[in-house]
Amino acid sequence: MNIEIEKWIIKEKEIICNVAHKIVAVTKCCDDILDEDYLDTTSKDDYGTYIGYGVKLVRTEYDEYCYYKGIKYCPFCGKPINIIVDDTIDYTDSYNKLKERQGELYKKLNKADSVKSRKTIYTEVEEINKRISYMYKDDGIEILSDLVKGSETSD
Ligand SMILES: [Zn+2]
């Protein structure tokens, strides 16, 4: 299986650099790999520690938590899983613009004195918050089925 990704980078402060992995295209090795609910794609473990983007086994045998273990080969057909980085894109400027707008809107929200105007401002705040959190998030396996190009082989 080939998973083509883009690396989205945000340099929040001098030292903090956040990387989100966005899936661009997928070529699957077999049908099973996308049907199973114990596989996922992520770059972090349950504690938020970076462990490298890739396909992970999700263990759900304990109700309270699951954890991620990276796999290099498909557990169904044994073919290698390749993560291909198409591009690395710096979204720091867009991120900063969104944060600036978010700040302006929060100020406006504090000054707004009608229910209607608060509602309008809040709708925009929610939209901006959504866009900001999207920039931080790795694409998970749930997105794979929408992007699959087709099987590498026909067997
Ligand atoms: Zn496979």
Q: How many A from CA of 126 to the centre of ligand 1?
A: 39
Per-residue model confidence (pLDDT) at position 57 = 81
Q: How many A from CA of 33 to the centre of ligand 1?
A: 5
Q: Which stretches in the chain have pLDDT values below 70?
A: 14-15, 36, 59-67, 143-155
Per-residue model confidence (pLDDT) at position 15 = 66
Cα 6 to Cα 86: distance, rounded to the nearest angstrom: 6
Q: Which is nearest to 31 in space by CA: 64, 76, 73, 72?
A: 76
Q: Which is nearest to 136 in space by CA: 94, 85, 87?
A: 94
Per-residue model confidence (pLDDT) at position 73 = 94
CA 17 to chain centroid, in Å, comes to 15
Q: How many A from CA of 153 to the centre of ligand 1?
A: 10
Q: How many A from CA of 77 to the centre of ligand 1?
A: 4
Q: How many A from CA of 88 to the centre of ligand 1?
A: 27
Per-residue model confidence (pLDDT) at position 59 = 67
Q: Which is nearest to 132 in space by CA: 110, 151, 105, 114?
A: 105
Q: How many A from CA of 137 to the centre of ligand 1?
A: 25
Per-residue model confidence (pLDDT) at position 151 = 55
Per-residue model confidence (pLDDT) at position 31 = 84
Biggest CA–CA distance in the chain, Å, is 65
Sign for the CA dihedral angle at 5, 75, 149, 27 comes to positive
Per-residue model confidence (pLDDT) at position 155 = 44
Q: How many A from CA of 14 to the centre of ligand 1?
A: 41
- The two three-digit tokens of residue 42, written as one number: 């992520």
Task: Give the predicted TM-score (pTM) of the model.
Answer: 0.79
Distances (CA, A) of 47 to 57, 65, 67: 16, 11, 9
Per-residue model confidence (pLDDT) at position 48 = 76
